[in-house]
A and B are shown apart, each in its own frame.
Chain A
């Protein structure tokens, strides 16, 4: 049973456009929701994260929107750039144990110049 579902599997966006990736979780015990960015040959790196006590968190061009009642959260990348082309994973974990995470299947983002 997959506990974190991510969509779409792949996404192509023009430079300057908005990239949106969605995730849904099942386990209501999760209270920490990070997004990771992974480039080929590298391990995932934390991009931005949110806790369920807020509905939105913004860091630069990256925004997480969180809907606790729907058990859904999404990543928005504004003004997408070719350098943003990577695989993005949503994840869910306990706030006190972020190292033990359940990951979504990943979204491969391609930003065309």
Chain B
């Protein structure tokens, strides 16, 4: 299994500001994934973070808006930049181990 810790668990932010979300895994993993879950909706993959290389973004997500760092094999950050109310969502960190995906508890972001 994998234990994933995310910080912060929730935050309320002013529009135009940025928030950095941290994700810590209890053991080394090659890839880490960032998902967004808008209120009452499904999970959408934002990007895949590999250690030592730039993150790979899915269609509709760009690095300027969601910069990602992956300094080592157990840690990653996602920044939500220049926030607007439309960015209000739950942001989830995930890792894959064997054939199972594990998720953190998520960061509930509200932009006002």
Could you tell me which A residues sit within 8 Å of B by CB distance? 32, 34, 41-46, 49, 89, 93, 95, 97-106
A44 vs B101: C-alpha distance when bound (angstroms): 9
Query: Using Cβ atoms and an 8 Å threshold, which residues of chain B touch A49?
Result: 99-100
Known A-B contacts A41-B105, A43-B103, A98-B101; A89 and B96 likewise in contact (beta carbons under 8 Å):
no
Question: Count of B residues near A, CB < 8 Å?
Answer: 23
CA distance A112 to B104 in the complex (A): 29
Bound-state Cα–Cα, A49 to B92, Å: 21
A/B interface sample: 11 pairs, CB < 8 A: A34-B100, A42-B106, A43-B92, A97-B31, A98-B99, A99-B31, A99-B33, A99-B96, A100-B96, A101-B45, A106-B42
Q: Are A42 and B42 closer than 8 Å at their CB atoms? A: no
Known contacts A99-B31, A99-B33; decide if A46 and B41 are in contact (CB<8 Å): no
Minimum CB–CB distance from B66 to chain A (whole Å) comes to: 16
- B48 on interface, CB distance cutoff 8 Å: yes
In the assembled complex, B95 has its CB within 8 A of some CB on chain A: yes
What does DSSP make chain B's interface, helix, strand, loop or mixed?
strand
| Cα-based distance from A95 to B101 in the complex (angstroms) | 11
The residue in chain A whose Cβ has the minimal distance to the Cβ of B95 is A99
* B101 close to A46 (CB less than 8 A): yes
Interface centre among B45, B103, B105 (most CB of A within 10 A): B103
> Which among B96, B103, B105 is the interface contact of A97 at CB below 8 angstroms?
B96
B90-112 toward A: CB 8 Å interface, digit per residue (1/0)?
00101110111111111000000
Query: Are A100's CB and B48's CB within 8 A?
Result: yes
Q: Are B105 and A98 in contact (CB under 8 A)?
A: no
> What are the interface flags for B34-52 relative to A under an 8 Å C-beta threshold, 1 for contact and 0 otherwise?
0000000111110010000
Cα A100 to Cα B94 in complex, Å, equals 9
List chain B residues, Cβ under 8 A from A100. 31, 33, 45, 48, 96
Shortest distance from the beta carbon of A59 to any chain B beta carbon, whole Å: 13
